[in-house]
Amino acid sequence: MAASSTLDKSTTLRGLTEAEAAQRRQQGQGNNVVLSTSRSYADIIRSNVLNAINIILFSIGAVMIGIGRVGDAVTSVGLIGLNILIGIYQEIRAKQQLEKIALLTRPKVILVREGQERTVDPTEIVLGDLIRINTGDQMVVDGVVVGTGNAELDESLLTGESDLIQKAVGDEILSGSFCVSGSGYYEVTRVGSDSFANKLTATARQFQIALTPLQHEINFILRLLMALALFMGTLMLAATILSQTPFMRQVQFAAVIAGLIPNGLFLMVIIAYAMGAVRIVQQGALVQQANAVESLSRVTVLCTDKTGTLTANRILYDAVHPFEKTQAELEALLADVAYSQTTTNKTSEAIMNGLQGRRHALLDEVPFSSRLKWSAVALDDEDRRGVYVIGALEMLQPYLRHLPAEADTTLAALSAEGKRVLTFAYAPDPVQLHDAEGAVMLPDLSLLGLVTFTDELRPHLKETLSSFIDNGITVKVISGDNPQTVAALAKQAGFPGDLSYVSGTDLADMSATAFAQAAVDSTVFGRITPQQKEALVDALRSQGHYVAMMGDGVNDVLSLKKADMGIAMESGSSATRNVADMILLGDSFEALPAAFTEG
């Protein structure tokens, strides 16, 4: 049963009545879109049966039946049929596993009806429904912001733009975006196949089958033998017409020519693929397309995103670096500030996970936003009084009365270590942080210190990277973050030697030749757009590399489809899983070396 609660009395928003919702559903205004997890059963059967090679082989079988060689025809066509059945079975198993994953990762929504909030499945939404937004929620339908609240959304999975978007009353909400901070409500304006995300991923969901080098070689040999058989058949036909060869002798000639087609070769290949796929599943990876097993053995370059692949998409509190107060005093103050915020984000969550604090009386608050790049609280009780601000130094510098001489050098040194660095500042008097029109304002501040955070690396990452290097696979990191920070993180993860890095801004100014050379020479790529990510994969492939791309977001779809081998995380977006050749179950990055070895 769906959980329910009474709507906050501070808002007059009540949503639809159950009767109104039922009426709209009857009118076809429900969110009834079928979420495709991969190819349909019909597509799987069609791709395995109706390909050029099978059609030719079945035609040869029909001819053999026509000339009375039924036994040979049954043997020949039977092998092809067994090949088809094994391929269909393997791919249907992968489809069913993907459907289970999609069901487990399906987002829930907080729906408001008749003044009551309840958590429901997205299929219960109808046009005009009222949905509550909280930090961390994914938007499943389109809508318009209504009522009070202050929410900031990440639309990068849809647009490729890294900037967070502040949403005010009347602003449009796009399905597929995430609430990074704040909370609020929005009214549903588009559902089902009309929603932005469903329109965008309609083409992204299309699974493309690419032949491996071995399959290309086999197909070439088969075409060559078929051409030879056709040539010999033509000669035989001419000879029989001229020499009046008996019919049974013609049949024998036809049987010899048909025997040139190596039917058993295809069966051996597909059985090898199927056995490899089964063993790879045991290692923690799901093969969606049978020939991906061979692709694993061909990979020379593995490109990976940072967030969600090398890292666990979480930041950890590291330390405070005080300019005023002792470290213990500053940590206690920092913890109290984080616990007193009413809207959380990854930064405040990391602080609360790392430190123990207490909630204090809140006079006013400014949630974190990408536009401001800071958050602030005004506390007013006996234990904590004043305005406390956490954010980027470059954004807070205009408000700082004094900047210690060592601040810049300390910040640069910490950033070079791959750490995220924020400023912690305060003003002694608790004041309002918004003027009469609602505009944000800050008093003059004093710098208390710097706060550092680290990205949580995935388990066994160093051992995994070492295995890639031992197997001659070059690993490249392609990220939207600062290239210097990513390079430092890659160093922590176990990348050997001095890492060369390049930014997306630099790549944008390069010629095609320089771009291709940078793709080969550099190990870390930062501030990269989805289009540049796709171009980097294409540049590596054009220079003879067999490229695997690993990602988890919709913004990785283009590069996954461009790569020779696409690898997705189980927790990634459904669109990413749908186009990938292989899915890492449980996001187990450490399963890759064993999978490559199996390939």
Enumerate the active-site residues.
305
Residue with tokens 């491996």: 212
Query: E strands of 468-564, at which residues?
Result: 474-478, 501-503, 524-526, 547-551
Residue with tokens 């929620």: 137
Residue 71 half-sphere exposure, CB side, CA atoms within 13 Å?
0
CA 165 to centroid of chain Cα atoms: 20
**Secondary-structure percent of the chain, ordered helix, strand, coil, rounded to 5:** 45, 25, 30
Query: E strands of 491-596, at which residues?
Result: 501-503, 524-526, 547-551, 565-569, 582-584
Question: How far apart (Å, rounded) are the C-alpha atoms in residues 159 and 523?
Answer: 26
> In Å, what is the CA distance from 542 to each residue of 300, 393, 528?
13, 42, 20
Nearest CA to 128 out of 191, 192, 195, 170 is that of 191
The partner residues of 304 in beta bridges, in order of sequence, read: 477, 550
Helix ranges (DSSP H) in 120-186: 156-159
Residue 247's Cβ-count burial label (10 Å; 0-12, 13-18, 19+) is exposed
Cα angle for residues 454, 458, 461 (degrees, 5° grid): 110
Question: How far apart (Å, rounded) are the C-alpha atoms in residues 467 and 28?
Answer: 54
Nearest CA to 150 out of 126, 168, 173, 137 is that of 168
* Contact yes or no for 350/315 (Cβ under 8 A): yes
* Contact yes or no for 200/32 (Cβ under 8 A): no
**Residue 147 DSSP label:** E
Question: How far apart (Å, rounded) are the C-alpha atoms in residues 347 and 359?
Answer: 17
Query: E strands of 23-122, at which residues?
Result: 109-113, 116-120
* Contact yes or no for 343/183 (Cβ under 8 A): yes
Phi-psi group of 248: left, alpha or beta (phi > 0 → left; psi -120 to 50 → alpha; rest → beta): alpha
* Contact yes or no for 287/281 (Cβ under 8 A): yes
> Could you tell me the two tokens for 289?
């397309």
